Every structure is written in C-alpha cells, then in structure tokens.
C-alpha cells in the first residue's frame, strides 16, 4: 500500500498556489505528522509550492530522515526561529502562518530573522481542514482504536467494587490500554464516583466507591496515532427510578443525535437533535456542554458539534456524540460514541453496550 503523505502535501501545495503563498509554516506536531509521517515533537515544516523542508534539532534529525520520504530535512543551527528565518530569507516570498499556533514572540523572532524580503500572511486552519476529512485507511485505524477503548472500558467494570479508589481504576485503564497495544491515553482518563460524576471533566482522586453511586468512565486510546473517546455510565447496585429515567433520556438524546448524522447536515443540527430530546425530559439545563467534537490525530479537532454551528458534515468527518446530564451533588450520566460520517448516514465506531450498567 502506498504512503498517504505525498498526496496530502500535494493537495495542500495546490491550495498554496491558489492562495498565492510561496510557503506555509507548519508548526504543530499533529499537522506535520499528517503531512510527512515525522513523529518528533520539535521543529518546523516549511511547505513550499513544490517542495517540503523539515527543520529539526539534533535530537530529531536522524528520526526525520528515517520517517519521511520526499521531504528535505535540515538540521537546526542556533534557535529554530533563526534557522527558519535564514531558510526563508534566502528564498523570499509570501509566507503563511497560523496565528492560532504561533506566539507573538515567535512571530517577532521569525520576522526579524527572515528580513524584509518576506511578506507574512495569516493562513488559519489549512491542515486542520484537510485532516477533518478522513481517508478510508484513517477511518479503519480509528475503528481499531475505538474497539480497543471499548474493550478496556468493559474490562475495567470488573474492578468496580465498593472500596476501590477512582485512581486505582484509572491506573488499571491506562495500563490496559498500553498492554493492548495503544500508544498512550488520548487524554487524562476520567473515573468519577458519585457526586464527582456531576463534573463533566472530573479528575480521578483517592475517593472510594460506595454502594448506590453512579460511576462515569470516560477514556480514549491512541492506536496507530489515532484517538478514540468513549464514555459509559454505571450504577453500583439497583438504580432508583429517577436515575433510570435520566439515563434513558441521555440514551434517547444520543440516539437522536446519531440519527441526525449524515453528510450535508450542519453540526448545529446534530447538537440540536440531542438538546431537543433532553428538553422534552426537562433536563436541558443539566446538559452543560456541546454534543461532540471532531476526533482524529488529536482528541479535539474539527468539526465542533456545538449549538449554532453552521458547518456542514462531509463524508470522512469523524465526530463524537456525547450528550450528558449533570445533577449537582448527585451525579452525572454521559454516553459517548465515536461516529464516522457517511454520505447517507453514520458508521458507529465504538461498540460497548449503551444501556445503564448495574453492577
Ligand atoms: Mn469526547
């Protein structure tokens, strides 16, 4: 099978020509990995209309040569800004940079080093837009990452006995990810017991599990560079009627949002589908975050599945659908799946059971 990087660079280079940029600075590791395969965490990729140059320091030069094909790799001399500046000053032209990724200080240093022959132009989110539309092989990889995350979550349920600490469960989840071949967790694993689960992004603590508590497990694995993200909610004991009712409402909201997913539908419409169901159950005010987010090389990327988002889904988008309700002092309920957008619908990548798990 051919490598995907050359084609991605060619697509971006066509964009540069269209935008009349001679170069684009790629300053973010996920972006340069996407374009070259380079896994180092320091350096800069300078994409020109017909060539690509990776400028890295001594820790990464051998790695850059080994991992990339058709990319010139240049060893950094002095600071990164000096090296990139010298490279650009020798060529001149109109250089695109992403103001969301370069600090004011870095831009000042680059300007000074590149001199007056270089014009600077804001070029926001070019690679991110390309990354949002996954190729078939990327979706296949994300399916594997999602399956692994679901398996780890199901295995972790066995630990949920009264007395265990949130941190112990989180440690076991992280261990199981790596044991099963994942690179590392995609984000800090969330294990939240009882009233802690009312915080959507609770951090695991030394709190011990009690009977008749809710448990929210939210975890993601990075497998073959791609992230997964899954959440399930558990009740320790037999759940009272109101917990069942809340969980059913969240399940219904999740199903409505997934049913709304297909190419051509706006992200705001998907978000509204979940919100409408929760409003019908008078739970809307307890749903305190967006319905989902793009997922890929990073755990949060384009597109955002939030209220009012006009951006339309296209085939190849991979997003999370994760409605939840958070009742202060009692607990939270969230169900999260990863979904690939198809022309006529959605392909669900995560597979663990979605009903309320009582243990
Ligand atoms: Mn998520």
| Angle between helix 29-36 and helix 5-18 axes, rounded to 10 deg | 110
Is residue 218 a contact partner of residue 233, using CB atoms and an 8 Å limit?
A: no
Q: How far is the CA of 189 from the centre of ligand 1 (A)?
A: 11
Q: How far is the CA of 332 from the centre of ligand 1 (A)?
A: 15
* Closest-CA residue to 73 (of 97, 48, 38): 38
Q: How far is the CA of 294 from the centre of ligand 1 (A)?
A: 9
* CA–CA gap between residue 156 and residue 87 (Å, rounded): 51
Q: How far is the CA of 19 from the centre of ligand 1 (A)?
A: 34
Q: How far is the CA of 228 from the centre of ligand 1 (A)?
A: 8
Q: What is the pLDDT of residue 242?
A: 96
Q: What is the pLDDT of residue 2?
A: 77
Total length of the chain: 359
Q: What is the pLDDT of residue 321?
A: 98
Per-residue pLDDT of the chain in tens (359 residues, 90 and over written 9): 479 999 999 999 999 999 999 999 999 999 999 999 999 999 999 999 999 999 999 999 999 999 999 999 999 999 999 999 999 999 999 999 999 999 999 999 999 999 999 999 999 999 999 999 999 999 999 999 999 999 999 999 999 999 999 999 999 999 999 999 998 999 999 999 999 999 999 999 999 999 999 999 999 999 999 999 999 999 999 999 999 999 999 999 999 999 999 999 999 999 999 999 999 999 999 999 999 999 999 999 999 999 999 999 999 999 999 999 999 999 999 999 999 999 889 999 999 999 999 99
What backbone torsions phi and psi does residue 74 show, to the nearest 5 degrees?
-120, 130
- Enter the pTM of the model: 0.95
Q: How far is the CA of 337 from the centre of ligand 1 (A)?
A: 8
Q: How far is the CA of 35 from the centre of ligand 1 (A)?
A: 25
Q: How far is the CA of 1 from the centre of ligand 1 (A)?
A: 31
Q: What is the pLDDT of residue 125?
A: 96
Q: How far is the CA of 237 from the centre of ligand 1 (A)?
A: 27
Summarised one tens digit per residue, pLDDT across range 109-137 is: 999 999 999 999 999 999 999 999 999 99
Q: How far is the CA of 113 from the centre of ligand 1 (A)?
A: 40
Q: How far is the CA of 241 from the centre of ligand 1 (A)?
A: 27
Q: How far is the CA of 287 from the centre of ligand 1 (A)?
A: 14
Q: How far is the CA of 90 from the centre of ligand 1 (A)?
A: 44
Q: How far is the CA of 70 from the centre of ligand 1 (A)?
A: 35
Q: How far is the CA of 274 from the centre of ligand 1 (A)?
A: 15
Q: How far is the CA of 236 from the centre of ligand 1 (A)?
A: 23
């Amino acid at each position: 099978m051919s490598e995907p990087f050359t084609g991605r660079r060619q697509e971006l280079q066509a964009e540069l020509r269209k935008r009349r940029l001679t170069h684009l600075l790629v300053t973010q590791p996920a972006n340069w990995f996407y374009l070259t395969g380079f896994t180092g965490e320091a350096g800069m990729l300078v994409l020109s209309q017909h060539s690509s140059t990776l400028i890295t320091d001594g820790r990464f030069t051998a790695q850059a040569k080994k991992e990339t094909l058709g990319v010139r790799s240049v060893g950094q001399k002095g600071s990164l800004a000096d090296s990139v500046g010298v490279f650009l000053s020798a060529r001149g032209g109109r250089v695109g940079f992403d103001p969301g990724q370069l600090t004011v200080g870095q831009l000042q240093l680059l300007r000074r080093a590149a001199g007056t022959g270089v014009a600077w132009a804001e070029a926001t989110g070019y690679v991110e837009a390309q990354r949002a539309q996954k190729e078939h092989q990327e979706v296949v990889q994300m399916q594997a990452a999602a399956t692994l995350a679901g398996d780890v979550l199901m295995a972790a349920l066995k630990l949920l006995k009264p007395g265990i600490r949130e941190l112990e469960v989180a440690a076991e989840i992280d261990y199981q990810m790596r044991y099963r071949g994942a690179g590392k967790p995609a984000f800090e694993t969330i294990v939240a017991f009882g009233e802690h689960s009312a915080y959507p992004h609770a951090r695991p603590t030394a709190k011990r599990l009690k009977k008749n508590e809710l448990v929210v497990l939210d975890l993601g694995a990075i497998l073959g560079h791609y992230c997964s993200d899954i959440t399930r909610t558990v009740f320790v004991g037999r759940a009272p009627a109101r917990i069942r009712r809340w969980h059913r409402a969240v399940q219904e909201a999740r199903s409505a949002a997934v049913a709304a997913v297909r190419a051509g539908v706006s992200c705001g419409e998907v978000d509204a589908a979940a919100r409408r169901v929760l409003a019908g159950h008078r739970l809307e005010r307890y749903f305190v975050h967006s319905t989902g987010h793009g997922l890929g090389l990073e755990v949060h990327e384009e597109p955002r599945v939030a209220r009012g988002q006009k951006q339309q889904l296209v085939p190849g988008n991979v997003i999370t659908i994760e409605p939840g309700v958070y009742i202060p002092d009692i607990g939270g309920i969230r169900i999260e799946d990863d979904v690939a957008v198809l022309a006529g619908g959605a392909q669900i990548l995560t597979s663990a059971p979605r009903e309320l798990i009582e243990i």
